[in-house]
Structure 1
Amino acid sequence: MQAVASLRYGVIFKKAFSQPDVFTAFVKDILGIELDIDHVETEKSFPSPIGSIDSIDSRFDLFAEDKVKRIIVDIQHRRYGDHYHRFLHYHCAALLEQAVSARNYQPALSVYTIVILTSGDRHQRDMSQIDFDPKDRHGQGLGEIPHKILFLCPKYVNAETPEPWREWLLAIDDSLDGQVDETHYHKACVQKILETIRQDSLTPQERARMKDEYSEEAWLQDKLGESLQQGLEQGRQEEKEEVALRLLAKGMDVVLVAEVTNLPLERVQALWEQRRREN
């Protein structure tokens, strides 16, 4: 077993996949496209905002452009509650940024976005995609628009997951607990990733950034917990008020209703007045 840094952390994911040979090997296996690049940008953003969202809010984790084949590929790895809409926006930003003239709306470069959902997704699919190519009424593509977005969930790899993808996704998922059996993986670039993210190879700066990301996640979880608790409390309040209204409709005294439901007397009286006005 090998101790590794989890690929759930942005700083680690970018360290591993920003290597041009790793990036191109991954893209070839996932998209079937061979890229010719010598550099992968991290935290890529465009100088002008798209719509009313500032460019700093639409940063691409990993971004590479093959100017000869006229292809852009970006890879994202974070999971958000709105990730389908968020990464659709990012993808469209890469398309719209190319629109320099109203005379021709066809982007100069094809755009592919690969989203790695390391923490899973409520739909529990190993892959889903947004394909921009127009379809006829039989679902047959016209071959007009190549742009697409792929959402990959490593934790849902199954027997039907395409073979070229399997080792990449399994290695990503395997890293999440910080321990990997490196003997399970045979692709040269997957082995390179595992070597790159070895715990003993991390710099102090990378460890510090991991701690920052962990703290950010913990804070978000706390806020989510607070929101859920508020929702539950709101639900209990509404349930109590519904019971109170039913009891009042049966003629129970407002003071007794307040005692039974544990609602403030003033609130029960307000509910009673509201009911009288509605009737």
Structure 2
Amino acid sequence: MQAVASLRYGVIFKKAFSQPDIFTAFVKDILGIELDIDQVETEKSFPSPVGSIDSRFDLFAEDKTQRIIVDIQHRRYSDHYHCFLHYHCAALLEQGVTAKNYQPALEVYTIVILTSGDRHQRDMSQIDFDPKDRHGQGLGEIPHKILYLCPKYVNAETPEPWREWLLAIDDSLDEQVDETHYHKACVQKVLETIRKDTFTPQERARMKDEYSEEAWLQDKLGETLQQGLEQGLQQGLEQGRQEEKEEVALRLLAKGMEVALVAEVTGLPLEQVQSLSQ
């Protein structure tokens, strides 16, 4: 077993995946794209913010034909799908300043790593921008896409090229990995890069800052959920009406509570809560 720093921390993820050879190997396995780059930028932002919001990308690289963005996200937010859709669109629209028409010069791909999981419990979900006919067949006009990857939900159907990367990321979260389980050279390099005895004092300080911020947010979320639960249950018990139970369920789902737990708390059927979550 090897002691490592968790890849849930942005400073650690960026330390490992900002190495061009690791970044390009990861992108090739996930997207099937060969990148020609010699630099990966971290905390990338554009000189003129798009939509009056200064979007910052954890990892950002581009060659002559493709612009690749990789973001690491540990905390669950109710809007993380929308958040990274905005980031992706900002990277598209930023090209419009110099483009001759509305077609961006670079294809844009965004990979989001959700290390804490997601309420949908999928190993991968995708936003594909290509127009479809009424039979769902793509026209091959627009290549841009967003991939949301959840290492926690790797399963037998997860594509083989992805598996070792996602398993290694998930394995690192408890700060112990069995390095003998991994055979890809770049995955081994990631594990070597995040060994606990390789960090600078500055990197350790950044880790502590991230940990403290996360702990504070979790405390505040716990308080909010508890208040919502108490208020919602009291209303449900007093009113005893189906509409009130559904309102409570919607509030809890919006705060990120798992579907099964919402069903248990509200007494609504699991299928009904799943329908409300959609």
TM-score by shorter chain over 0.5: yes
CA drift of 1:226 comes to 2.0
Cα–Cα, structure 1 residues 6 and 72, in superposed 2: closer, same or farther, change >3 Å? closer
Distance in structure 2 (CA, Å) of the matches to 1:22 and 1:8: 17
Whether the 8 Å CA contact 2:76–2:256 is kept in 1: the answer is no
Q: 1:139 to 1:68 in 2, by over 3 A?
A: closer
With over 3 angstroms needed to count, the CA separation of the structure-2 counterparts of 1:231 and 1:8, relative to structure 1, is farther
Q: Secondary structure at the match of 1:111?
A: strand
Q: Is the Cα contact below 8 Å between 1:77 and 1:115 reproduced in 2?
A: no
**How much has 1:58 moved relative to structure 2?**
1.3
**Structure 2: how far apart are the matches of 1:176 and 1:45?**
28
Q: 1:232: Cα distance to partner?
A: 12
Measure the CA separation in 2 of the matches of 1:15 and 1:247.
36
Sequence identity percentage: 91
Structure 2: runs of 5+ lacking an equivalent: 225-232
Query: How far, CA to CA, are the matches of 1:184 and 1:248 in structure 2?
Result: 37
Runs of 5+ consecutive residues of structure 1 not aligned to the other structure? 272-277
Residue 154 of structure 1 and its aligned partner are, at CA, apart by 0.1
How far residue 80 of structure 1 moved from its aligned partner, in angstroms, is 3.0
C-alpha deviation, 1:47, in angstroms: 1.5
Q: CA 1:260–1:49 in 2, change beyond 3 Å: closer, same or farther?
A: closer
1:235 and 1:26, CA in 2 relative to 1: closer, same or farther beyond 3 A?
farther
Please list the CA deviations of residues 175-216 of structure 1 after superposition, one character each: whole Å capped at 9, or x if unmatched.
000000000000000000000000001111111100000000
Output one character per residue of 1:258-277: Cα deviation in whole Å (capped at 9) or x when no partner. Answer: 99999999999999xxxxxx
- Structure with bigger gyration radius: 1
- Correspondent of 2:237 among 212, 232, 239: 232
Matches of 1:249 and 1:26 in 2, distance apart? 33
Q: Which residue pairs with 2:250 in the alignment? A: 245
Write the distance in 1 (CA, Å) between the matches of 2:190 and 2:55.
26
* Pair 1:270–1:46, CA change in 2 (3 A): closer
Alpha-carbon shift at residue 121 of structure 1 (Å): 0.3
Contact 1:45 1:56 in 2 (8 A): no
- Per-residue deviation, 1:165: 0.1
Kindly tell me: are residues 198 and 234 of structure 1, through their superposed partners in 2, closer, same or farther at Cα, counting changes over 3 Å?
Answer: farther
Is structure 2 residue 35 aligned with structure 1 residue 38?
Answer: no
CA distance in 1, matches of 2:237, 2:207: 33
Structure 1 distance, partners of 2:257, 2:153, is 55
Alpha carbons 2:37, 2:61 under 8 Å: kept: yes
Query: For the structure 1 residues 232 and 137, does the alpha-carbon distance in structure 2 shift closer, same or farther, using more than 3 Å as the test?
Result: same
Q: Do 1:64 and 1:72's aligned partners in 2 also have CA atoms closer than 8 Å? A: yes
Cα distance change on mapping 1:180 and 1:266 into 2, 3 Å: closer
**TM-aligned CA distance change 1:208 to 1:231, over 3 Å:** farther
CA drift at 1:144:
0.1
Give the Cα separation in 2 of the matches to 1:189 and 1:254: 37
Shift of the 80–198 alpha-carbon distance from structure 1 to 2, 3 Å rule, reads same
Range moving further from structure 2, 83-92 or 93-102: 93-102
Rounded Cα–Cα distance in structure 2 between residues aligned with 1:251 and 1:67? 40
Instruction: Give the CA deviation at 1:81.
Output: 2.8
> 1:115-152: CA deviations, max 9, x gaps?
00000000000000000000011111000000000000
The 1:199–1:145 alpha-carbon spacing in structure 2 relative to 1, beyond 3 Å, is same
CA–CA distance in 2 between the matches of 1:123 and 1:88? 17
Partners of 1:2 and 1:198 within 8 A in 2? yes
Contact 2:41–2:59 under 8 Å retained in 1: yes
Q: Go from structure 1 to structure 2 and tell me whether the alpha carbon gap of 1:212 and 1:104 turns closer, same or farther (over 3 Å shift).
A: same
Q: For 1:133 and 1:248, how far apart are their aligned partners in 2?
A: 30
Question: Any conservation in 2 of the 1:72–1:110 contact (CA below 8 Å)?
Answer: no
> Contact 1:62/1:76 (CA < 8 Å) preserved in 2?
no
Contact 1:71 1:109 in 2 (8 A): no
How far residue 49 of structure 1 moved from its aligned partner, in angstroms, is 2.1
